[in-house]
């Protein structure tokens, strides 16, 4: 078997929302198709992937370096020991030839997006859900398709006041979510406290609020917020400072006693390891949000999970950023703590297969071959427009 083509298309996912750092008025993503010559049900197997919001499409890098490297390789050099399927680790190594270590920027997004499509193809060729394949190869053999998900939103939006924020959060709770997340750091501390309190008032028993500063704060502001936030029973306080400022995270962790979360902007195992080594994160209460779609894909994420294990961290402390089905599959297959979800944003890319409902803050994944994109009609329509 072989990969016959890899296609990329850059798609808009723009909206009027704003977090503490960026607006999304020009946001794009890359949609990728890895076309194979394997035939299932009379059709060629195609793996699909896309990168999460926040880092823009990466078509130029893919077309210049990563796609030609894969297509120019001896096809046999990319296969697993059966010779009948791709080995994602070999495809990954091929993409990364002649790439120096360090400096994990946009390249990690380009590779992560193609890697997602490769895993989708591999699981489809194997004829099983990716979560099943992952549990068998790297987990305890038995996946748990019931995955915790939380609703992310609460962005700053023109003309959106406290009523609008509350209505948004109420609608997530009405859809079955038990944890909702909102942005902070794009207003004053006093205004953000007012916004937080207005949402806390609508929460019932078993429901919680998380807040996300998107890396906006310097040390003093992070700690000022930390002191103010300590009065609230938050699910977590996310990305207080610059993602690479491990010292800031560690200092914050000395004064903020609630759970902290970070990691969505760490794009390699080595960066994640620096967080674990130097960021003062607590393995009994804090959360890790590394997102494979932005950080060299699942091949690298497996290295990150190994690194975490060596440092005594459970995969159940990981709740990835990004709201995509790839992380849902990893969560179900390898026992992550859950996944992010954006109920009303970045469609049709995020979300769940059609008919999947959130019940008590959890979804149950259907047994679709691959990552499960074929079960989401609006998404698979876009994917098939790229390659069918």
Q: Which residues are catalytic?
A: 183, 321
Closest C-alpha among 269, 251, 351 to residue 309: 269
Q: Which residue has the tokens 């074929």?
A: 374
Nearer to ligand OAA, 15 or 198 (CB): 15
- x-marked contacts with ligand OAA along 268-307 as a string, rule CB under 6 A: ----------------------------------------
* Partner touching 152 among ligand OAA, Mg ion, none, CB below 5 to 8 Å by kind: ligand OAA
For the CB of residue 137, give the shortest distance to ligand OAA in the complex, in Å.
28
Q: Tell me the H-state helices in the chain.
A: 59-61, 67-72, 88-95, 106-126, 130-138, 162-174, 189-200, 219-229, 246-255, 269-278, 297-310, 325-334, 377-386
* Partner touching 266 among Mg ion, ligand OAA, none, CB below 5 to 8 Å by kind: none
Q: Is 212 in the site for Mg ion (CB under 5 A)?
A: yes
- x-marked contacts with ligand OAA along 48-87 as a string, rule CB under 6 A: ------x---------------------------------
CB 287 within 8 A of CB 236: yes
- x-marked contacts with Mg ion along 214-253 as a string, rule CB under 5 A: ----------------------------------------
CA–CA separation, 219 and 211 (whole Å): 17
Instruction: Report whether the peptide linkage leading into residue 354 is cis, meaning its omega lies within 30 degrees of zero.
Output: no
Q: Which of 1, 13, 19, 49 is in the footprint of ligand OAA by CB under 6 A?
A: 19
Torsion sign across C-alpha atoms 48, 51, 53, 55: negative
Q: Is 152 in the site for ligand OAA (CB under 6 A)?
A: yes
Nearer to ligand OAA, 50 or 66 (CB): 50
* Partner touching 259 among Mg ion, ligand OAA, none, CB below 5 to 8 Å by kind: none
Q: Is 264 in the site for ligand OAA (CB under 6 A)?
A: yes
Torsion sign across C-alpha atoms 192, 185, 177, 289: negative
* Partner touching 192 among ligand OAA, Mg ion, none, CB below 5 to 8 Å by kind: none
SS3 213: coil
Nearer to ligand OAA, 144 or 221 (CB): 221
For the CB of residue 59, give the shortest distance to ligand OAA in the complex, in Å.
20
Nearer to Mg ion, 264 or 271 (CB): 264
* Partner touching 31 among ligand OAA, Mg ion, none, CB below 5 to 8 Å by kind: none
CA–CA separation, 21 and 214 (whole Å): 6
For the CB of residue 54, give the shortest distance to ligand OAA in the complex, in Å.
4
- Interface with ligand OAA: number of residues (CB under 6 A): 8
HSE, side-chain direction, 13 A CA sphere, residue 52? 28
Nearer to ligand OAA, 124 or 321 (CB): 321
CB 226 within 8 A of CB 232: no
CB 34 within 8 A of CB 113: no
CB atoms within 10 A of CB 75: 14
CB 286 within 8 A of CB 313: no
* Partner touching 168 among ligand OAA, Mg ion, none, CB below 5 to 8 Å by kind: none
Q: Which of 28, 113, 214, 268 is in the footprint of ligand OAA by CB under 6 A?
A: 214
Reported as type and span, the H/E element at residue 8 is: strand 3-12
* Partner touching 340 among Mg ion, ligand OAA, none, CB below 5 to 8 Å by kind: ligand OAA
CB 375 within 8 A of CB 366: yes
CA–CA separation, 111 and 62 (whole Å): 8
Tokens at residue 289, please? 């949000």
Nearer to ligand OAA, 118 or 294 (CB): 294
Nearer to ligand OAA, 268 or 327 (CB): 327
Report the relative pairing of strands 3-12 and 260-262 from DSSP bridges: unpaired
Residues of this chain that interact with ligand OAA (CB under 6 A) are 19, 54, 152, 212, 214, 264, 321, 340
Residues of this chain that interact with Mg ion (CB under 5 A) are 212, 264
């Amino acid at each position: 078997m072989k990969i016959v083509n890899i296609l990329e298309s850059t798609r808009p996912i723009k909206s009027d929302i704003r977090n503490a750092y960026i607006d999304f008025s020009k946001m794009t993503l890359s949609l990728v198709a890895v076309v194979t010559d394997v035939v299932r049900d009379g059709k060629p197997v195609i793996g699909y992937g896309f990168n999460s919001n926040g880092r823009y499409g990466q078509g130029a890098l893919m077309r210049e370096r990563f796609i030609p490297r894969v297509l120019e390789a001896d096809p046999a050099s990319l296969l697993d020991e059966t010779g009948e399927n791709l080995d994602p680790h070999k495809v990954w190594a091929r993409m990364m030839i002649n790439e120096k270590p360090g400096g994990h920027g946009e390249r990690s997004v380009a590779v992560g997006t193609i890697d997602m499509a490769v895993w989708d193809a591999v699981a489809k060729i194997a004829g099983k859900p990716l979560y099943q394949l992952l549990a068998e190869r790297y987990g305890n053999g038995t996946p748990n398709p019931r995955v915790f998900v939380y609703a992310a939103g609460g962005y700053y939006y023109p003309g959106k006041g406290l009523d609008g924020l509350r209505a948004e959060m109420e609608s997530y709770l009405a859809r079955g979510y038990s944890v909702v997340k909102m942005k902070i750091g794009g207003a004053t501390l006093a205004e953000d406290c007012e916004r937080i309190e207005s949402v806390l008032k609508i929460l019932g028993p078993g429901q919680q609020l998380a807040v996300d500063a998107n890396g906006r704060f310097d040390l003093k502001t992070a700690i000022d917020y930390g002191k103010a936030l300590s009065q609230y029973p938050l699910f977590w306080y996310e990305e207080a400072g610059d993602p690479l400022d491990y010292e800031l995270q560690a200092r914050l962790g000395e004064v903020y006693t609630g759970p902290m979360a970070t990691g969505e902007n760490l794009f390699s195992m080595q960066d994640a390891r620096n967080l674990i080594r130097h960021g003062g994160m607590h393995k009994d209460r804090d959360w890790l949000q590394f997102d494979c779609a932005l950080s060299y894909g699942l091949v690298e994420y497996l290295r990150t999970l190994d690194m975490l294990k060596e440092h005594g961290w459970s995969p159940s402390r990981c709740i990835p950023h990004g709201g995509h089905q790839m992380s849902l599959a990893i969560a179900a297959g390898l026992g992550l703590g859950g996944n992010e979800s954006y109920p009303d944003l970045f469609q049709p890319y995020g979300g769940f297969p059609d008919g999947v409902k959130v019940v008590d803050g959890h979804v149950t994944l259907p047994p679709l071959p691959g990552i499960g994109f074929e079960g989401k009609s609006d998404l698979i329509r876009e994917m098939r427009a790229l390659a069918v």
